[in-house]
Amino acid sequence: MKLLSLAIAAALLILPLSAQHHIPIPVKDPTSAKTTQIQADLYGSGRGGLLLAHGGRFNKESWQKQAPVFARAGFLVLALNFRGDHPNPDGSPGSYGSDADNATDVLAAVAYLHQHGATSISAIGGSLGGDAVGNAEAQSPAGVFDKMVFLGSDGGDHPERLRGRMLFIVARDDSSGSGPRLPSITRHYEQSPEPKKLVVLQGTAHAQFLFDTEQGPELMRDILDFIKQK
């Protein structure tokens, strides 16, 4: 009975960390007086905030397997939808917002995390989401992220302006309609300041699709180790 009670207590401690809350976040347009709203899912609690920014073929729900893991590791996790997120004709997710809008959405999400107790912010961005994270960081004079993970992303338009620790992850044969992604990601990696690391995995999986490969569990461990670094 004592072992059963301990197991139940442990489960009760874990469940709230994994609980998901759907929340709206107001976003002020920096060029006008207009305010729009983005949607996000909030997991866990803690002083360390973690922003999850999805790729163009995904949405906030695409982090449902990873977000609870990060929450149980002690992070206040926020998975956002960009304002331009709309279903494709076939029902699959699609993101069509401008680069500037996406970066503004990221900054609004960061502000939300700070308002709810986060004293430091890390980010994981897949493809389009990684570009948005990098662009948000580059346009902020003081910087906003302590650590950034770019999955299949070159980190935005101004890698030389990035700050904090950076982890670039890409599959060697990941390609778009324009060709292989590795050369562009390598170039931006080389232009970004230290501290940084580039990890090239085997295969063709792009961005968040890497989690679904046989390398997925090791990828999660590597990301967790990186964002938990002091």
pLDDT > 70 fraction of the chain, expressed in percent and rounded: 91
Question: Is residue 176 predicted with pLDDT exceeding 80?
Answer: yes
**pTM to 2 decimals?**
0.90
For the residues 88-111, what does the mean pLDDT come to? Answer: 88
Residue 188 backbone phi and psi in degrees, to 5:
-70, -35
Task: Check if the beta carbon of residue 96 is closer than 8 Å to that of residue 89.
Answer: no
Q: What is the pLDDT of residue 185?
A: 98
Whose CA is closest to 54, among 121, 133, 113? 133
Question: What domains can be seen in the chain, in order of their start residue?
Answer: 2-227 (3.40.50.1820)
- The closest alpha carbon to 46, from 112, 108, 116, 115, belongs to 116
Confidence bin at 96 (pLDDT 50/70/90) = confident
- The pLDDT score that the predictor gives to residue 19 is 58
Q: Is the pLDDT of residue 138 over 90?
A: yes
State residue 10's pLDDT score. Answer: 40
Q: Which of 5-9, 189-193, 215-219 has the lowest mean pLDDT?
A: 5-9
Residue 222 DSSP SS3: helix
| pLDDT tens figures, 33-74 | 789 999 999 999 999 999 999 999 999 999 999 999 999 999
Query: What integer best gives the mean pLDDT of the chain?
Result: 90
Residue 131 burial (CB count, 10 A): 24
At 107-133, the pLDDT tens digits run 999 999 999 999 999 999 999 999 999
pLDDT at residue 16 in the model: 46
In the chain, the percentage of residues whose pLDDT exceeds 90 is 79
Q: What angle do CA 198, 201, 206 make, to 5 degrees?
A: 95
